[in-house]
Structure 1
Amino acid sequence: MSNTPNTPPESGTQTSFGFRAVPETERQGLVNQVFSSVASRYDLMNDLMSGGLHRLWKSEFVAMIGASRGESPFKLLDVAGGTGDIAIRYAENSGPNATAVLADISPEMLAEGRSKVAARGLSSRIRLTQGNAEALPFPDRTFDAYTIAFGIRNVTHIDAALREAHRVLKIGGRFLCLEFSECQVPLLDRLYDFHSFEVIPRLGKLTTGDSESYRYLVESIRRFPNQEKFAAMIREAGFERVSVRNLTGGIAAIHSGWKL
């Protein structure tokens, strides 16, 4: 099998779903089907895709939010928050005046997140709501920080999602994105490709009976802009002081920007 993505048509009515070209109007529905299928096994999926490294990456990511343990309230919006990993880590490592809203477009993912939040006794500090990253149901300048982890590559119009992130942040608010990116270490990149295209779909089939969802998720990583291109998109959305921190040789990266 070739690991080179198909060239998407130039027509504005077409977009990519993994390596496939699909009508733009159908992409979100296809993505929703993937996450409906994997919701109950999403945490296992992240372990398979990252070899368990996502747990370390998320800890580093949450440490960058910088929520105060003092008296001042601090409000986080975690978009595409899925099963609650980021919001839960944030709440458990912040003061009692730090709260979070977890937004996700998938009701199945929200159900998993709601169960985990309740089990940790955090329902009073983490509110879950259904919402599309491209059209968030929140007023302008509401949040102190916006996070999105392993979710933005599944958005049909990434530029629209970035503009929404900028809109809902307060002046001085911070945008943080954790996402799989372009491996920049020779040899490691070849090992990573083999793991991605040969190992992950087979593991998905063996452990969950679903190889196609995992194949899409791997392909979506390759379609996502590399570190520099994504940083440029963040700047175009209006963010300043944009920076990139590579993790594990660039297999994942944390992008940061400020609304000033």
Structure 2
Amino acid sequence: MSDSVSQDCGLDEATRRADGRLIRAMFDAVAPRYDSMNDIMSFGVHRLWKRRLRRMAGPPRGRGLALDLAGGTGDIADLMADKDWAVAVCDPSTGMIDAGRKANAGPRLRWVAGAGEALPFADRTFDVVTLGFGLRNMTDRRGALTEVLRVLVPGGTLLCLEFSTPWRLIRPAYEGYSRRMIPRLGAAVAGQPDAYRYLVDSIGAFPDQKTLAGWLRDAGFATVRYRNLFMGIAAIHSGTRPA
């Protein structure tokens, strides 16, 4: 079942939990080759997007605490730590966390297994939350946004990097590449074609930029904005917890 499953679909809690287990198992399976596949599929561009996200976070403020939610192998967290943020990397996949510990073992990173829909942190803990390519894999996306708001300090910022709806001019070529090439690469490099078919389906099912901005506002975020990247193939949404 694809990540289009969410609370908005009217599914019961048991179904959402089962769907979440399937997604975690899939990421456990692809964890050893996850970063390599991202480099191949995006021709390395995803790293430029993540650096843009880090620049938007700016220097540490408040207590200098950041949460990298759905942080996977911690590549965003590592960029944040390089700028003196103390970062908790939270991901539901223990396979991704294990791979991340091996790749990014800096002393300013703390690794925590947990789901975005029920974050294992106290209210008003973090000055910034980064969320890179993870929201679409959550079974209750709106609930996850509410959780992010809860753990942010007043005035704290969410920065959400996610695939989005590209400009109409490039959409046919982009969708053709995604549906024909990505599963083949997943089979050849990671040995997991089904996982990368899921990836393509999840991108296609994810809401466009304006819809996601509306979700942030509905969750209670203020000063909600988004910036398109590479003609809308991805976008960074930002919002703050009202002071």
TM, length-normalised to structure 2: 0.92
Structure with higher RCO (Cα < 8 A, 6+ apart)? 2
The reply on whether 1:198 has 2:196 as its aligned counterpart is no
User: Which residue of the partner structure matches residue 199 of structure 2?
Assistant: 217
Q: Are 1:13 and 1:25, in contact at CA under 8 Å, matched by a contact in 2?
A: no
How much is the aligned-residue C-alpha RMSD, in angstroms? 2.1
Report the number of matched residues.
238
User: Which residue of the partner structure matches residue 110 of structure 1?
Assistant: 97
**2:55 counterpart letter in structure 1:** A
Q: How does 1:24-173 map to 2 (within 5 A)?
A: 24-68=16-60, 73-92=63-82, 94-95=83-84, 98-118=85-105, 122-123=106-107, 125-173=108-156
User: Which residue of the partner structure matches residue 182 of structure 1?
Assistant: 165
Higher helix share: 2
SS at 1:250 equivalent: coil
User: Which residue of the partner structure matches residue 241 of structure 1?
Assistant: 223
SS at 1:140 equivalent: coil
- Give, in angstroms, the shift of residue 12 of structure 1: 2.2
Identity %: 45
Pair 184,25 (structure 1): closer, same or farther in 2 beyond 3 Å: same
Name the larger-Rg structure. 1
Runs of 4+ in 1 over 4 A off after TM superposition: none
- Give, in angstroms, the shift of residue 210 of structure 1: 1.5
**2:53 counterpart letter in structure 1:** F
**1:102 counterpart letter in structure 2:** V
**1:162 counterpart letter in structure 2:** L
**1:82 counterpart letter in structure 2:** G
Q: Are 1:150 and 1:178, in contact at CA under 8 Å, matched by a contact in 2?
A: yes
Distance in 1, Cα, partners of 2:186 & 2:164? 21
**1:205 counterpart letter in structure 2:** A
SS at 1:245 equivalent: strand
The unaligned stretches of length 5 or more in structure 2 are none
- Give, in angstroms, the shift of residue 204 of structure 1: 1.2
User: Which residue of the partner structure matches residue 3 of structure 1?
Assistant: none
1:238-258 Cα distance to aligned partner (Å, 9 max, x none): 000000100000000000001
SS at 2:189 equivalent: helix
1:109-133 Cα distance to aligned partner (Å, 9 max, x none): 0001111222xxx12x111111110
TM, length-normalised to structure 1: 0.86
Q: Are 2:75 and 2:104, in contact at CA under 8 Å, matched by a contact in 1?
A: no
Q: Are 1:48 and 1:200, in contact at CA under 8 Å, matched by a contact in 2?
A: no
1:117-168 Cα distance to aligned partner (Å, 9 max, x none): 22xxx12x11111111011111100000011100010000001100000000
- Give, in angstroms, the shift of residue 30 of structure 1: 1.2
The unaligned stretches of length 5 or more in structure 1 are 1-5, 16-21
**2:95 counterpart letter in structure 1:** E
Pair 139,218 (structure 1): closer, same or farther in 2 beyond 3 Å: same
Distance in 2, Cα, partners of 1:240 & 1:253? 18
SS at 2:118 equivalent: coil
Distance in 2, Cα, partners of 1:152 & 1:73? 25
Pair 13,238 (structure 1): closer, same or farther in 2 beyond 3 Å: same
- Give, in angstroms, the shift of residue 7 of structure 1: 11
User: Which residue of the partner structure matches residue 10 of structure 2?
Assistant: 12
- Give, in angstroms, the shift of residue 47 of structure 1: 2.0
- Give, in angstroms, the shift of residue 26 of structure 1: 1.8
1:54-83 Cα distance to aligned partner (Å, 9 max, x none): 011011011101123x8x631100111000
